Structures are given as C-alpha cells and as structure tokens.
A and B are shown apart, each in its own frame.
Chain A
C-alpha cells in the first residue's frame, strides 16, 4: 500500500480582514503516493485555492497540511520553499518559463535551486526533456518555442527534481485540443513510469474522466471524492 503523500486536515481559506471572503471551508483531503487525481469545479469554486494550499504556496486559515510526513503548520517561509523544491513540481496554465534562459537552463533550475551543480544535473535534465519529446531543443531560448512546446518544457521543469507530487492548475488551458491530449497522455505516462502522484485542477469534466480519482469542489466545499471506475479511453 502506498504511503500518504498529502494529508490535509480540514483546510480552509478566508481572504480579507474587514470584508471576509471564504474561498475554502474545512476540506478534508488525503493523497497517496503515485495517485493520479483530478480536482474539478466551476470557476471560483475554490479548487485553485486548495491546490495552492496543498502546494505550500499559500497558508490555510484553518486546518493543516502534512506533506510527506512534514507538518507544515509552523513551517517558516524558508522551510516551505525547501519542501516545495524537494517534493512538489508545479505546472500552471501559463508556462512561466524564464525568457532569459534556454530550454535546458529552465529545466535545470529546480535542481540548481536545490544547490546541485549544473554539470551533475544535465544528464537528468536531458533524460527528462527526451521523455517529453523535446530532444534537440535544449539550447533554444524558451521564447522561441510553440505554445505546446513551452508547456512541455514547463512539465519537464516540474519533473526535474523527481518530485513525489505534481500539482497542475489548468495545465492545458492555453493549448489546443491536440496538445491538450498529448499533455494528459504524458502525465499518465510519467505517473506510470516514475510513480509521480498528480493532482490536476481542471474545470473540464472530460479531462477529469481520464484520472483515477475525481474530487469535486463547489462553493468552497468538497462535494464529492470518488474513484473513477469508468475511465474514458485516453
């Protein structure tokens, strides 16, 4: 049985001090290592907030997040940054590649942040780029790629430190249908090959249908958390 990777106990988030906006209300959530899950909901339902809380990009107003056995409740900004670097890879709707750097340098970045010398990282970076079908683009500037290529580089970067968890927030929101299909196919392959757990935020139910577990958020509440026994064909 896989170990618990994320244990979020009743996490909630309220924004504002005078006028309070409740974005998420005491949601219980657990994710096992190697799981392939999706988080669906309408725009403004709180799914991105939940992803940000689990990804330690934001702090919960209530509850706590335990990541790979590390209780992050009292963690400093520095500790949270180190945990993100160690355990989590992010893929956002926008690729957020650094335009000043080449494809290879972008992919190397999480490893360099971890303090590893670039020379020691290159083989793994090249392997990851190959896994995503980006061979030969290493020296290209990130700005010179197509939208789909940019997003695949962003995925390669998210996988660079071989994180236990990839959090993807509408990762294909800016891509066409062909690229969208390719990205989810890649996610599934990586999940199976590397054992990386995925939590994919989407508003597209057909995308969610391709994952093993579907969590649905509505108005900040967890509406349902179901195993997907009727996987749509990829």
Chain B
C-alpha cells in the first residue's frame, strides 16, 4: 500500500489544501443531509397532518347510503393485508347544530372510542374535558367549540337526519390541527349512531383502515378490491382524493433533488480542480517515483487514495454537521407549534455519506489519469 502511504503523506504535508477540500465535501454532504432530512420530514409532517389522523382506506357499499355488513369474512379479508394496521367500522351521519338563531352542520362519526383512537387519536388530541364516549356524549372540535362557546358539560342541541331533535352532552374538545376537522366533525358512540341511522349491530356506514406505508394505499386498495369478501363493496384510498397534495409533494421532492444534485456538482468540480492542481504540484515527485520504477497504475492510485481519504473524512464531518444542524433546528423549534420535527433518516444519511465518497473518488479520475500517463522523462528533462 505504498500509494496509500504516499497519498496520506502528500495530504499531511499540505494541510490547508487538504482541509479546504475536506471542508468542501463536508459542506456539500452537510447540506445534503440537512436538506434531505428537512424535505423528507416536511413531507412526512404534511402527509401526517393531512391524512395521519384520518382513514387512508375506506370500504363502502357500492350504492351510496347502503350499509356495509362487517362480518367475519370482511374482517378477515382486511386484516390479512400486511400493510393494514388498523380496521375500524364506523357509522357516519350529518346533523345540524342549533343554538338560538344560529345553526351549523356537523359530520358525525360513531364508533367505540378505543377503536376510533387507533385512527383519529382523539384521546391524544383532547384539549378540554375527558375522553369519554357514552350514550348521549359527543366529542367536538376546538374551532366548533370556540364558535359557539361550548365547553365540556354543556348540552348541545341537534337536528338529526330523520328530522328529530336530539340533545348531546359535550364530554370533550379535541384539536386535530386542521380548521376543517376542528369545525365540522364530531364523534359519538357507535350504538347511538346505529340508532340514529336505523342500522343493525353488524351494519356500518363504512369500514375505515390505516396502512403502515401511506403511499402503499393504492396497491392495498387494488388487492382488497379483488377479494371476494368485498363483492358489492368499493374501496377508496386517500391518494385519489388528494391529487393536488401528491403533486405538490412530488414537485417539492424534484426541487430538493435538483438543489442536492447541483450542490454535489459544485462539490465535485471543486475537488476535481483542487486535486488537478495538486497533481500538477506533485508532478516532480511522481516523475521521480516513476523513474525509480513505480508503475502507472500505482502512481495513479495516489490520487485515488487522496480522494478517498478526503471523501471519507469530508463526508463524515458533513454527516456530523448535517445532524448538528438538524439538532439545532429541533432545539430552536422545541417550543414552536409552527415548526415540524426533523428526523434524520438513517438510510438517507448513509446514502449521503456514500455519495460524498463517490463524488470525491469520481473527482480523482482526471488527476489519476494525468498521473498515470505522466512520463518520467518529462520531469527529468524539465529539471
């Protein structure tokens, strides 16, 4: 490993140049790690906010308004899909809230609180009252509660779909982080919803489900639809209804990739030019080594090793700097509700590290080639 030893010595004897190249790589990889994690986390946060607390898959009857019979076959068909993490049968209806001369429509979802929590996490998002859903209880959103000055323990009057009046007691107020959800949704007990809708105990408006990988919902929906247990039922998934969000996420990814790509190109050009200058500076040394019998390949490897050492050290520092920036971002935003949490992706960080090394090694091609082609006579004659 003579070429490795020479490479290391060349680097050590030009510390400023070596540090500058490694710093260039570190900046590139640091930006890569931070930006990549930022965009990934931002997207995850957006997706979570949009659909994290709502069903990503919904099974309904083919005919609108018909009930879905949630029997053992359907339960088995849904739970056998490995991507499906939660299956919750729900009963949904609309009702009009009335308070004096004021009124507002509300979309009710009925079910057991424990099951509803697996999708909506109502208990976890409660801002007032208690997470209880007994007969005659209702859980309402924060914006709705604020609009009509409702608080836990208050009684709210509604006009049900069948035109009959009903009074429900506000047991708790939740905040889903979305004005639409906070002002237009409400949750009641499943049995109460069945009474309102006139459904049998095994009949539901829809079967909600969540999946482990939200972007796999399309494939899961296709697989479910093909199952005989879902005959006369239709499966819808969130991506159909959120084409705009998907397109925005895709555009965001593309622009992020573009930025990362050009940062890496700039880093590669920087390393290549500095190594090329270094190769010129070391021409005399390489020439005499060749005169002494060093082969073309061995001499070419000197710059490969230099690039590898710089790449590994620069990328390592870059990964550290990127993770440090993420930690700083998280620290500064620890008390802010408008900032989202950035989670470093291990796989992405590993890829960035590898990319840093590859870019550095790739940048050594020109100086390595130049060095292997160098004829010792050029140096000897040049003095």
Q: Which residues of A contact B (CB under 8 A)?
A: 48, 52, 55, 57-58, 77-78, 81-86, 90, 92-94, 96, 98-101, 109-110, 112-114, 157, 169
Contacts and interface: CB of A to CB of B under 8 A. Distances in A.
A102 to B, nearest CB: 10
Interface stretch (B132-140, B183-191, B286-294): B286-294
B289 A100 contact: no
B188 to A, nearest CB: 80
A77 B296 contact: yes
A40 to B, nearest CB: 19
Contact of B380 (A57, A83, A114): A57
Nearest to A90: B291
Contacts of A58: 377
A90 B377 contact: no
Interface in B287-315: 287-298
Interface in B11-54: 12-13
Contact of A113 (B10, B13, B292, B296): B292
B285 A90 contact: no
| Max chain A Cβ within 10 angstroms of own Cβ: one of B9, B293, B297, B298 | B293
B377 A109 contact: no
Which 3 interchain pairs have the tightest Cβ spacing? A85-B293, A96-B288, A100-B13
A83 B383 CA distance: 23
24 contacts: A48-B381, A52-B377, A52-B380, A52-B381, A57-B377, A77-B295, A78-B296, A81-B295, A82-B293, A84-B291, A84-B292, A84-B293, A90-B292, A96-B288, A98-B285, A99-B13, A100-B6, A109-B289, A109-B292, A113-B2, A113-B292, A113-B293, A113-B298, A157-B292
B383 A57 contact: no
Interface string B74-100: 000000000000000000000000000
A111 to B, nearest CB: 10
A52 B10 CA distance: 28
Given A81-B293, A109-B292, 7 more contacts: A48-B381, A52-B377, A83-B293, A84-B293, A90-B291, A100-B13, A100-B285
Contacts, number: 66
Interface of B is mostly: helix
Contacts of A157: 292
Interface residues of B, number: 26
Given A94-B383, A98-B288, A101-B9, A114 B377 contact: no
Interface of B: 2, 6, 9-10, 12-13, 284-285, 287-298, 376-377, 379-381, 383
A190 B335 CA distance: 80
| Max chain B Cβ within 10 angstroms of own Cβ: one of A84, A93, A99 | A84
Contacts of A48: 381
Given A52-B380, A112-B2, A113-B2, A96 B284 contact: yes
Contacts of A101: 9
Contact of A81 (B12, B290, B380): B290
A78 B291 contact: no
B294 A113 contact: yes
A200 to B, nearest CB: 16
A228 to B, nearest CB: 27
A81 to B, nearest CB: 5
A113 B298 CA distance: 9
Contacts of B297: 78
A92 B293 CA distance: 15
A81 B383 contact: no
A113 B289 contact: yes
B117 to A, nearest CB: 68
Contacts of B287: 96
A157 B383 CA distance: 18
Nearest to A89: B292
A79 B292 CA distance: 13
Contacts of A78: 295-297
A82 B383 CA distance: 23
B376 A57 contact: yes
Contacts of B380: 52, 57, 92, 169
Contacts of B284: 96
| Max chain A Cβ within 10 angstroms of own Cβ: one of B12, B13, B380 | B380
Contacts of A57: 291, 376-377, 380
A122 to B, nearest CB: 15
Contacts of B13: 99-100
A82 B298 CA distance: 12
A48 B382 CA distance: 12
Contacts of B288: 96, 98
B309 to A, nearest CB: 15
A110 B293 CA distance: 7
A84 B381 CA distance: 17
Nearest to B293: A85
A84 to B, nearest CB: 5
Nearest to A160: B292
A157 to B, nearest CB: 8
A112 B297 CA distance: 15
B240 to A, nearest CB: 64
Contacts of A99: 13, 285
